[in-house]
A and B are shown apart, each in its own frame.
Chain A
C-alpha cells in the first residue's frame, strides 16, 4: 500500500494553465475521487501521477519518495482508461498477461496469476475472446484485471464507468469498491459524477478550473461545502444570498432563518445560505409549527417515482423541496416549510 502526495503541482500547456498549485495527500489504501466538470484538470492530475505528463512545477511523492522524474514504466502504477484502451488484436488472456509478459515474468507464474485474476473478475468463459467480442462491462473487467495482475502500488481510473449504461454502472461501482477494499490498494478515481464519487470514495477532491476547491469525506463536501460552486456541484440545493443578523440568524429574500453559528460569520456579513432540497420538511398550511416555519404556495410538482420535488413560492423566492413520494401534495396548495437551524449551511458571500 502506497501513500501519494502532490506537492504544489502545476501544469501548463503553452499559455494555458491546466492545474495550478495543487496539494493533495492520499493515504495508503484509500480510494480518492477527483471530481469536477469536464476540462477542470482532473484527468491531467491523474496523468501526472501516472507519469504520462510531467508537472511544470511541483513534486509527486510515493511513500515520501520523489517520483516526479521517474519514467512511466518505472512507477509501478496501474491505470484503467475511460475507453478501456484494450489491445484490440489480443485475446482477453493476452491483454491481461501483457504487463507480466513485458516485465519478463516466468511463464508458469504468468499462468498462475492469470488464472487467479480471471477468477476474481469472473471472465473465465471469455479468455479466448477478442475485445470486440465483449460487452462494455466485460471490457471494463478485462481492463481492471490487466491492471491488477501487475500488482501496482497505485491504481488509477479515468472515468471508467462513463461508457456503461446505468444498470451496469451500478454493478461495476459495487464491484470496484469491493475489489478495492479486498485488495487494499491505493486508488485514485476520476469522475464528473458526484453520486459516483460519493458512493465510491473515502474522500473526494473537488477541482474547478485547475484549482483544488475542497478535499474531504463525501458527507463533509455534501453538508459543509466551502463555496457555492462546491455546494452546487455536489447536489441539488437551494442557495440564497443573505446578511447575518447576529451570529445565529440570516436575513434572506423570503424571511429570516435561524442558523447554527459558524466561525467567521459575524453580524452584518454577507453570506450564502444553503438548504439541501431533502433537508426541508413541507407541511400543509393548516399544520401548526414553530418559529422556523416559512409560508409558501406549491407552484409546481415533479414526480420521480420514489421521490417528489415541489417548487414552493415563498415571496419573491422559489424553494425546491424534495421528499419521499408516500404522500402527494397538490399544486396551488398553501404550505409551510420547516427549516431547522442545523440544516442551514452558511458560506462566505
Chain B
C-alpha cells in the first residue's frame, strides 16, 4: 500500500514540479513584486498597494481592460458560432468529408505568429486582398482598401484568434457530438420537433460541456495573449498584456513592478470571470441532473 502511494507520488512529480515550482513560484513572485517587493531593483516597500492604486485609478487601464475583453469575447464568440456550425456539418455524411476533416485542423498546427504574418499579408492595405480588389476594379488603388489591421476594432486580431481557435472549438464539440450520437436528435424529430427546436432544446444542452471547456481555454488565452494585439493592434490604448509588456520593456526597471501589478490584475479579472462562468455552468449542470 505504501509502495503504491510512493509510486503514485512519483508519477505525479512532473506535473507537481511544473505546477508548484515554475507556475506557482512565478505567481508568488509576481504578486510580491506587484506589492512592492523587488530588492534586486532597489525597491522594497512591501506591502504596498500603490501600484494597483495607480493602475486602477488610471482611465487608460479601464480602456485597455475594455479593449482586452472586447477582443477576447468577440473572437471567442465568433469562433464558438463557427465551431458549432462546422461540428454540426462534420457529423453529417458528405462527399470529401475525410479530406475536410484533416483540412479544418490545419490552423491548429500552425503557430500564432505565422497566423499574424498571414493576416498582414492578406488583410493589410498592401496585402493580397487589397491588390485583388484593385485588380478587379472594386477600388482604384490598394491604398483605398478599408483598414482592417491596426485599428481599435481589432478585425485583424479577431481574425487571427478565430482562425486559430475555430478548429480547436470544432474539435471539442465534434468529439462530444460523436459521443452523444444522432439518436436523441432523431427521437426529437420523430416527436415533431423542427430543426431549430432540436438544436436549442436537444443538441445544445448536450454539447454544453464541450462548449464550456473549449471557450474557457480560448477566452483565457485571448485575455492574456500578447503577440496579435501588439503587432495588429491600433496603438494606444493597448490591451492589458501589451500594456504590461511596455512596462517590462521600459528602461526604468522600477516600472517592472507596475507591469507585475498589470499582470496580476489580468489574472484576477480573468480568474473572476472564468470562475463566475464555471459557477454558472455548474449550477446549470446541477439543474440538468448532472453532478
CA distance A85 to B183 in the complex (A): 6
- With A and B bound together, what is the CA distance between A79 and B183 in angstroms? 11
Proximity string of chain B (8-41) to chain A, C-beta cutoff 8 Å, 1 when within and 0 when not: 0000000000000000000000000000000000
Decide yes or no whether B109 CB sits under 8 A from chain A.
no
Shortest 3 CB-CB contacts between residues of A and residues of B = A130-B289, A99-B191, A85-B183
Q: Which residues of A contact B202 (CB under 8 A)?
A: 87
B111 beta carbon closer than 8 Å to chain A: no
Q: Is A2 an interface residue (CB 8 A)?
A: no
**Number of residues in A with C-beta < 8 Å to the partner?**
28
The reply on B139 being an interface residue by CB < 8 A is no
Report whether A73 and B184 are in contact in the complex, using a CB–CB cutoff of 8 Å.
Answer: no
Task: Please determine whether B289 and A132 come into contact, CB atoms closer than 8 angstroms.
Answer: yes
B192, A102: Cβ atoms closer than 8 Å: yes
Which B178-201 residues have a C-beta within 8 angstroms of A? 183-184, 186-194, 197, 201
Asked if A91 is at the interface (CB within 8 A of a chain B CB), the reply is yes
> Of A77, A78, A86, A89, which one neighbours B288 at CB under 8 angstroms?
A89
Task: Please state if A102 and B197 are interface contacts (CB–CB under 8 Å).
Answer: yes
Cβ A87 vs Cβ B184 within 8 A? yes
Task: Return 17 A-B CB contacts under 8 Å, by A number.
Answer: A52-B186, A52-B189, A52-B190, A72-B186, A73-B189, A73-B192, A86-B184, A86-B187, A88-B206, A88-B290, A98-B191, A98-B193, A102-B192, A102-B197, A103-B192, A146-B187, A147-B191
Other than the given A73-B192, A102-B191, 20 more pairs (CB < 8 A) read A51-B190, A52-B189, A72-B186, A73-B189, A73-B193, A79-B190, A81-B186, A83-B183, A86-B184, A86-B187, A88-B184, A88-B290, A89-B205, A102-B188, A102-B192, A102-B197, A102-B201, A103-B192, A130-B288, A132-B289
Tally of contact residues, B, Cβ under 8 A: 19
Q: Contact between A77 and B190 (Cβ–Cβ < 8 Å)?
A: yes
Chain A residues numbered 128-151 whose CB sits less than 8 Å from any CB in chain B: 129-130, 132-133, 146-147, 150
* Majority-rule SS of B interface residues: helix
**In the complex, are the beta carbons of B186 and A85 less than 8 A apart?**
yes
Given contacts A88-B206, A89-B288, A89-B289, contact A150 B186 (CB under 8 A): no
In this assembly, does A50 line the interface, its C-beta being within 8 Å of a C-beta of chain B? yes
In Å, the complex CA distance between A83 and B193 comes to: 20
Q: Is the beta-carbon distance between B191 and A146 smaller than 8 angstroms?
A: yes
**A91 to B197, alpha carbons, bound, how many Å?**
18
* C-alpha spacing A132/B289, complex, angstroms: 8
Q: Whose C-beta in chain A lies nearest to the C-beta of B186? A: A52
Q: Are A89 and B206 in contact (CB under 8 A)?
A: yes
Shortest C-beta distance, B69 to chain A (Å), equals: 30
- A162 CB → nearest B CB, Å: 14
B192 pairs with A150, CB closer than 8 A:
yes
In the assembled complex, which residues on chain A have CB atoms less than 8 Å from the CB atom of B289?
88-89, 91, 129-130, 132-133
CB distance from A344 to the nearest CB of B (A): 46
- One of A75, A98, A129 near B188 (C-beta < 8 A): A98
Say whether B187 contacts A81, CB under 8 Å. Answer: yes
- In angstroms, Cα B194 to Cα A91, docked, is 21
Distance between B50 CB and nearest chain A CB, rounded to angstroms: 50
Assembled-state Cα–Cα distance A133/B291 (Å): 11
What separation, in Å, do the CA atoms of A73 and B195 have in the docked complex?
10
B184-A72 in contact (CB<8A): no
> Please, how many angstroms separate the alpha-carbon atoms of A87 and B201 in the complex?
9
By beta carbon, the residue of chain A nearest B197 is A102
Inside 8 A of B183's CB, which chain A residues have their CB?
Answer: 81, 83, 85
CB distance from A189 to the nearest CB of B (A): 16
State A83–B183 Cα separation when bound (angstroms).
8
Interface flags for B104-136 (1: CB within 8 Å of A; 0: not) read: 000000000000000000000000000000000
Q: Which residues of A contact B290 (CB under 8 A)?
A: 88-89, 130, 132
Q: How long is the Cα–Cα vector from A52 to B188 in the complex, in angstroms?
A: 11
- Most chain B C-beta atoms within 10 Å of own C-beta, residue among A78, A87, A130, A133: A87
Taking CB atoms, residues of chain B closer than 8 Å to A52 are 186, 189-190
Name the B residues within 8 Å of A98 (CB-CB): 188, 191, 193, 201
Check A85–B192 contact: CB distance below 8 A: no
CB neighbors of B among A219-250 (8 A): none
Would you give the 0/1 interface string for B222-263, flagging 1 where the beta carbon is closer than 8 Å to chain A? 000000000000000000000000000000000000000000
Instruction: Verify A85–B184 contact, CB threshold 8 A.
Output: yes
Docked-complex contact A73 and B206, CB < 8 angstroms: no
A-side contacts of B191, CB under 8 Å: 78, 98-99, 102, 146-147, 150
| A55 CA / B183 CA spacing, docked (Å) | 19
Kindly name the residue among A77, A79, A85 whose own CB sees the greatest number of chain B CB atoms within 10 A: A85
CA gap between A73 and B183 in the complex, in Å: 15
Chain A positions within 8 Å of B206 at CB level: 88-89
- Point out the residues of chain A lying under 8 angstroms from B190, CB to CB: 50-52, 72-73, 75, 77-79
Inside 8 A of A150's CB, which chain B residues have their CB?
Answer: 191-192
Residues of A29-85 whose CB lies within 8 A of B: 50-52, 72-73, 75, 77-79, 81, 83, 85
